Each structure stands twice: as structure tokens, then as C-alpha cells.
Amino acid sequence: MKSHYRAVVIGGGVVGASVLYHLTRFGWSDVALIERAELTAGSTWHAAAGFHALNADPNVAALQDYTIKLYREIEAESGQNAGLHMTGGVNMASDPQRWEWLKSAWAVFQSVGIETARLVTPEEIKEICPIVDVSDVLGGLYDSNEGHLDPYGTTHAYAGAAKKRGADVILRNRVVDLKQRADRGWDVVTENGTIVAEHVVNAGGLWAKQVGLMAGVDLPVTPMEHHYFVTEDIPEVAALDKELGLAVDLDGFSYLRQERKGVLLGVYEQNPKHWNMDGAPWDYGIELIPEDIDRISPELSKAYQRFPCLAKAGIRKWVNGAFTFTPDGNPLVGPVRRLSNYWVACGVMAGFSQGGGVGKSLAEWMIYGEPQADIFGMDIARYGAFAANREYLKQTTGQFYARRFVMTFPNERLPAGRPLKRPGAYDGMSAAGAEWTASWGLEIPAYFAPIGFREETTLKRSNAFEIVGDEVLQVRRAAGLVDTTAFSRYAVSGPGAEAWLDRLLACRLPKPGRAKLAPMLGSDGRLKGDLTVLNWGGEYWIMGSYYLREFHMRWFEAHLTDGVSVTDISDAMSGFLITGPNARKIVECTTYQDISAKALPFMACGEFDIGMVRARVARLSIAGELGFEINCPATLHGTLRETLLAAGEDLGLAEIGYYALNALRLEKSFGIWSHEFTQGYTPGQTGLDRFIAFDKGDFIGREAALKEQKARVARRIVTLEVDAVDADASGFEPVWHKGRRVGFVTSGGYGYTVRKSVALALLDDDFAGEGTALSVHIVGVERPARVIAASPYDPKGEAMRQ
């Protein structure tokens, strides 16, 4: 053991070993892995070790595909047999909606370039897994790039390959404390002495919570129990001339693969159980939890029906082991805000599907400053401190586990961890019929419906379709009122504020009393934000998406300079957007001040008295209509709502939710973050380059943006009209031109004003011309589509400039 390393990885499971390997692969050889016991001595050793490419997040699915393809490489490089069984695997559906969902999933696979998957018939499923009963099965999604491997061999293959590249693996030496050094590095205090490390990676697995607390961060991870059993030899299996394919019965909550001449069967029970929520005991290692068969008996009963030969099979061993889970089931990866050089790679409950992608992305982040892929779905910054609350964590992880194989519909609003944060006018909006969804712990109105209304969960248009349509049309003909609590707000001040913002943002800064759309770039020229910057005169605000608060504050603080103060005021400030042709008339009823088009033109901002509320008002609107964003202290949110509703009572003002706002912005071809704008895209691809001031002084990403400006953009966002019937595109559906995949949908929905199903899509430039005939998969069915001019509603933008 040396006294100094560039990076120390804490944890010797498959994820820690993958991080170590990828650090060496990308050029850091002065690295070490420290493990309290032996490699795999946590959740890795007892894992079923199946691997799958299917994931609800397409970006995560692409990284799982990378992980699977990596196994043969690390076997060859290390000389260690990983026990790779590339059997292929099938996800089965016996429910009609599940079958539609699988067909949609196949289409998404095409969008992300995973072409090893295909839809299969029940007869084909029987060939893949001859012991399955397909009498009620409608079909399946088969991927030849699935299978299982040996947990011990795989972990040692990663570690062995890393050691050949110069890494050290230190066993039987527990880390007992972490202390930040003045030089931003860390004292890694172990049982056998202290190591100085420039970087520390928490890959602690079952102990990730404790390793986080050593550095002062409470991570939203917790262990949960998971069962599987291995049978004695089964004659039907022993008689096969090839290995069983991996079989997942999604509607039965079970998975099965061959183990020797028997099978391994695991279940995701509907009644899950947490285990040592604060992390495993330090002396826990190659151990198991006593099985709890009664608790999982409903799922076992379904599994025995699906695989009838189990009824006569003896059970060789039961495994009830613990795995760590996060609220949404995806890993926690990346740098921790306010902790220099402290990184996490934990909560990876599907380590043999995701471990390679996690290791690759984190190593890229540490060495190059950014991961190659957009991994926000795994970024620790997708959560705030609220997510580590014990009760919130228990509810949300339990919900995820119980729904591991349960289909979640796009319009489904799950109950765990809710309501947590509520806007000031929550009670009033609830009484008015608000149906709520949630983002980053905050309740957000989806739409307003008659009391007692219940929306049906579906992959297609729901029974709320007309309700949302009425809200859209009310905005177009009169006015709508939208709660904007879910907009993030950051106050920027100090003598260095202007210079700092000028370097941070790619736009030219607005003059006092004005606002501008503000792209924010990474050093590689890819997007870091689609923000709005407002100059109130003496203080600036940056506004963006509420759920990106931790992500953006981490970025702001990483680039902070002297003389600048950045404060997240999102929970202190709230507000409403009032938008539509009658918006000005309504606001005029509430203030003595001049808000005419001359006094407060489009993209202007200022301080106004709105009734009894002293508010900051900006002439903006994502709906594409005349709009006023009215910001107020959170304690005045309810008062502001009542004031505006009273003023608009005779002018057609209606409360609307975010479903309608989404439809309104689609009719204007306005993109939003996580759909049209992500950190995987560039300004030229998304059209945000038109807001960049290329001729101003230096800003982050300028060189890369200039290079893109001079080159031809290979792909760009366009607007599509889709011949949809009873469902609309939502995102990641493939777009085809005469059988060739030429792009994918970024978001879509129904345009109630233009009476068309519309979508925004990222297409190869050769097929992005107006009028190009295309087709799009909608809920697994290919529909005709065509490229149309941007902004099908009010293309000249006259309405919002009134």
C-alpha cells in the first residue's frame, strides 16, 4: 500500500472494480481500490448476475448495451474467465397493454441504436425457453445480447485488467474515516494507515451510506432484500441440447435462467422489505438473510404456473441477499456538490447490466471533465437533500422495488413520497380541482378537473384528453393561469456578477429591465442549460427547471469567482404565469402602474404592485401568447392567485396545468430541457445557436460552438405532423424514411389549436427539409408523418409580442 494515489476507489464489488478498470483504461495508472474484506464481499457475490439491455431510460439502456459488449474485452485483457453465458433473453407479455408496451420498447431500442432486439411470437418464446407455458402469452421482446455470468469471475476480470494497467487492489483493510485536505484532496484513513488521495470514489455498495456520511453527505440509498432460489437438476432442462434463454415474466414478477442442469428463479415481490436502512453492519460479508417464503408466495405461485416443471423440482439453495436501491432504481453517479474531488458510484442494483457503463462514465467525468453520454438519469444531482429523508426513502424505494416489473404508464402519478413540498396556493388549487403530479419533491398541477374525476392509466390518450384540450383552447381565446412554483430561480449579485455571468452564459447579457434566453454550454460546446437571465437592475436572476436545481448549482459553484454571490431562491420565491390575449387586461385590473406594450414590451421586466403583492414581473410566456410571469415571495402565493382570479373572473381566465402548457409549447415548436435540450446535444442541433452572441468576449464553450457554427450540423430538431389515431408520440420513438432510421422523437403530443398530432424530432439533416415524408412508431405502430414548418401556431410570433 502506497501513501499517495491520484484516486482511491472505496469498495470491491463489481462497480468499484469497473471504476478502477476504466480509470486505468483512460490513462490514470496511479489508482487503488480499497476493500474492507475480499472482492465481491457485499451484494456482488450473491447476485443472480443476469444482464439485460432493457431500461426505461434510453440513455441508461445504451450504457447497459456498452456494459454487455465489454465483457469479452475484459476477459481477454485480464485472462480471467468471467463465466459469460450469452444465451439471449426474452421479456414476455400476457397482458394486452404490456404487449403494446413491449412493442414501444422495441421501437425505443431502435432509436438508441440497439439493433439486437426483435419482437417474437409465443411459439418463438417456447423455442428460446422450452420450459415456459405460453398458453396465455401474447408475445415478447427478445434480445440476443442478454445472458448471465459469474459474479466472482467478472469482478476479478475488471480488477485483473486494472492491475495490468498499474492499479493496486488493497484487500482486508477497511476505510474508517475521510478527511478533506486544504489542497482539495483527501486523507483516506484506513485500519492499516492513512492514504492521501487527490480523488475519492464511493463505490461502497451496501456500505455506501456510511462512506457518504464519512464525508458529510447523506446519500439517498438503502438496502432491500431480494430472493431467488436454485433448483436441483430438472429432467426437462437436462435433456436440452442448448442452454435456456433468459426468461422474464413481467406480468408474473419473476425471472428465470439456467443454472447447471437446473434453473435459477428470482422474484420481485409486491410486498418488499427493507434491510438495515442505514447501511449494512461492517462485519457483514459472505452472508445471507434468512429466506421469507411466505412473504413472496404470491409471486412464487405465478412463477410455478409460468414454469410448470418447477412443481417437481427440488430446491438446492435459497438466496435472500441485500442490494442497494435509490428512489427511482437508477444509480447515483458523479461529483457531489460542495465536496471537492468526492465522487459516487453507488446504488447500482443492476451491477452486471450497468456496472461497465457506470465505470466508463465516472472515469470520463473524473479525467476529462464530462462523461461522453448524457447520464442525468444516473447523476446524483437529480436528487436534493430531501431524498435522503428516511421516510421518503423508504416509501420511494419500496414503491420502485414493488413495481420493478409493473408497467408504469406515461400519465401515471405514483403516490410514494407525496405530497412533500407544496406551493403556497396548494389548498386553493386543490379545491378548484387540481390533479397533481410531482417533480423534485414538489407538487405541480397537471390539469384541473371536476371533483371526483379519476384519470385512466394508459399508453394512449386518456379520459383527461378533452379536459386538457379545454384548458389549451381557453388560453388561446382568453387567458390561462399557471402556477410557476416549479421554475427554479437563482439570484446573482456582487461586483463581479456581470463579468461572471458574461462568461457563464453564451448570450449577450440583457440591459437593466430586460430579459434574455440564455444557453449555457460546457467546455465541449454541448448544452448545460436552456435558461432565462433577467436583469432587475442591481441584481440578476437566472431561471430554469426546478428539478435541475442541484445540477445547476453544482455547475455555478464549480465556476464561481471572487466578487460573485449565487443563491438558490427557488423555495423562497414562487409565482404565476398569466397568458393569453386577455392577459394584459387582467393584470391591468390589479395594478396602478403602466403595463402597456410600450411601458413593458416583450422580454422586459420590472417591479410592480399586483394587488397587495409587491411582485417582479416579466413579459415572457412558453405558451406563445401574450404573457406575464409574476414572481412573488412564496408566502404570498395564495394571495397572488386570489388576486389574479378575481381580476380575470369576467375576462375568461381559467386555471390550467402543465399538461396544457406542454401542448401549448409544442404548437410553437418550443423545446424544453430533458427533451429537445440535453447535455448530449449542441446549440446547432437544437436551434439554440440563434441565441448565442458569438461576437462577444470569451464564454465557456465558445471555441467548440464556433467550430460547430462553421461546420454542417449533421442532425437538427424539426417539427413533425403525425397521422396519429388514438395516441401521440412522447419521446424516443424512431423516425423512419423508407425503412431507414433517420432520427427519433424528442417530445410530442396533440396540438389542440392546430388540430394535429405534432412532435419535435432530432433528424439527420438530409431528411430534415420541410415536406419530407416520414413515419414514426407510436405505441409500437408505424404512422405516417411529415416535416412541417416550425411553430404551426402563430409562426411569426405576433401573439406573444402584443
What angle separates helix 58-78 from helix 351-368, to the nearest 10 degrees? 90
Amino acid letter for position 759: A
**Cβ neighbour number for residue 543 with a 10 Å cutoff:** 22
**Structural domain contains residue 462:** no
Q: Is 79 left (phi over 0), alpha (psi -120 to 50) or beta?
A: left
User: Mapping DSSP to helix (H, G, I), strand (E, B) and coil, where does residue 638 land?
Assistant: helix
**Cβ neighbour number for residue 711 with a 10 Å cutoff:** 9
- In this structure, the chain runs to a length of 802
pLDDT at 108: 86
Q: Which residues contact 796 (CB under 8 A, 6 or more apart)?
A: none
**Structural domain contains residue 165:** yes
pLDDT at 1: 78
Closest CA to 158 of 1, 334, 357: 357
pLDDT at 57: 75
Beta pairing partners, 786: 721, 773
For residue 770, give the CATH number of its domain.
2.40.30.110
For residue 196, give the CATH number of its domain.
3.50.50.60
Question: DSSP labels for 564-590?
Answer: -EEEE-TTTEEEEEEESTTHHHHHHTT
**Structural domain contains residue 647:** no
Query: What pLDDT, in 10s, does the model give residues 90-104?
Result: 999 999 999 999 999
Read off the pLDDT band of 420 (50, 70, 90): very high
> How far is it, in rounded angstroms, from Cα 54 to Cα 410?
17
> How far is it, in rounded angstroms, from Cα 57 to Cα 324?
19
Read off the pLDDT band of 211 (50, 70, 90): very high
With cell 418464446, the residue in question is 125
What angle separates helix 151-164 from helix 14-25, to the nearest 10 degrees? 30
**Structural domain contains residue 618:** no
Residue pair 518/510 in contact (Cβ under 8 Å)? The answer is no
pLDDT at 61: 83
Average of pLDDT values for 65-84? 95
Read off the pLDDT band of 678 (50, 70, 90): very high
Question: CB-based burial of residue 180 (10 Å sphere; 0-12 exposed, 13-18 middle, 19+ buried)?
Answer: middle
**Structural domain contains residue 219:** yes
Domain with 742, as residue range(s), is 713-802
**Phi then psi dihedrals of residue 26, to 5 deg:** -95, 10
The overall average pLDDT reported for the chain is: 96
Q: Report how many domains make up the chain.
A: 2
Read off the pLDDT band of 786 (50, 70, 90): very high
**Structural domain contains residue 600:** no
Residue pair 695/428 in contact (Cβ under 8 Å)? The answer is no
Q: Residue 392: is its pLDDT beyond 80?
A: yes
Q: Residue 780: is its pLDDT beyond 90?
A: no
**Structural domain contains residue 515:** no
DSSP letter at 241 equals S
Read off the pLDDT band of 561 (50, 70, 90): very high
Residue pair 510/705 in contact (Cβ under 8 Å)? The answer is no
Instruction: Show the cell assigned to 383.
Output: 436528487
pLDDT at 109: 86
Q: Residue 619: is its pLDDT beyond 90?
A: yes
Sign of the dihedral through C-alpha 640, 427, 442, 683: negative
**Cβ neighbour number for residue 471 with a 10 Å cutoff:** 24
Number of C-alpha atoms within 13 angstroms, CB side, residue 546? 20
**Cβ neighbour number for residue 224 with a 10 Å cutoff:** 20
Sign of the dihedral through C-alpha 598, 603, 608, 613: positive
3-class SS letters over 649-668 = CCCCEEECCHHHHHHHHHHC
> How far is it, in rounded angstroms, from Cα 227 to Cα 190?
33
pLDDT at 113: 80
∠ CA 601-605-609, nearest 5°, is 105
> How far is it, in rounded angstroms, from Cα 33 to Cα 23?
11
Long-range contacts of 378-381 (CB under 8 A, 24+ apart): 378/60, 378/63, 378/330, 378/331, 378/332, 378/333, 378/334, 379/333, 379/334, 379/551, 380/219, 380/332, 380/333, 380/334, 380/335, 380/336, 380/344, 381/334, 381/337, 381/548, 381/550, 381/551, 381/554
pLDDT at 58: 76
Average of pLDDT values for 64-68? 91
**Structural domain contains residue 417:** no
Read off the pLDDT band of 572 (50, 70, 90): very high
Read off the pLDDT band of 86 (50, 70, 90): very high
How would you classify the pairing of strands 117-120 and 175-180? Answer: unpaired
Question: DSSP labels for 545-556?
Answer: EGGGHHHHHHHH
DSSP letter at 421 equals B
> How far is it, in rounded angstroms, from Cα 393 to Cα 207?
16
